[in-house]
Amino acid sequence: MDSRFYDSKANFKCYHNQGDSHIVFAVPVFGYGRPQMVMDVLKGKDGNMLTVVQNIKTGEVVKENPENWRERDNGRFREIYSPSANDSYRFDIWLAEKIGSEKVKVYRTKQIK
C-alpha cells in the first residue's frame, strides 16, 4: 500500500502533491479519467500501484519506478499519454468523452489566446 494515496481517514485519493511543481497520479486500468478507487489502479510487476509524475507547468508525464512496468503497462501509458508523454492528450480525450470534441476544440482555442 502506498500511503501517499490515502487521506488521514484511510480513504483512497488518486494523486499526491509533490512540491509546488509536480503531482504524482495513480494510473487507471481503463478510461482516461482519474481512478476513483484503488481497484481501478494499474498494478506493476511487484503488485504495487503504477504511478506517474506530472509537471504542473508543462504537462509532461514520466513513469515513477519504470522498472516495475511490464510491456502491457507501457502500452497503457502510451494509450493514455500518447508518445509525447503529456497529460493534455489524456485530458482532451477525457473531456471530449464528457462534453464532445467540438467543445474541446473551442476550449483549446480560448487557451491559446
Residue pair 53/61 in contact by the 8 Å Cβ criterion: yes
Residues 79-103 have pLDDT tens digits of: 999 989 999 999 888 989 988 888 8
Q: What one-character DSSP code corresponds to residue 49?
A: B
Residues 6-64 have pLDDT tens digits of: 999 999 999 999 999 999 999 999 999 999 999 999 999 999 999 999 999 999 999 99
Helix (H, G, I), strand (E, B) or coil at 94: helix
Q: Kindly tell me the number of DSSP H helices and DSSP E strands found in the chain.
A: 3, 4
**What predicted TM-score, i.e. pTM, was given to this entire model?**
0.86
In the numeric block, the cell 508518445 is attached to 83
Predicted pLDDT of residue 113? 61
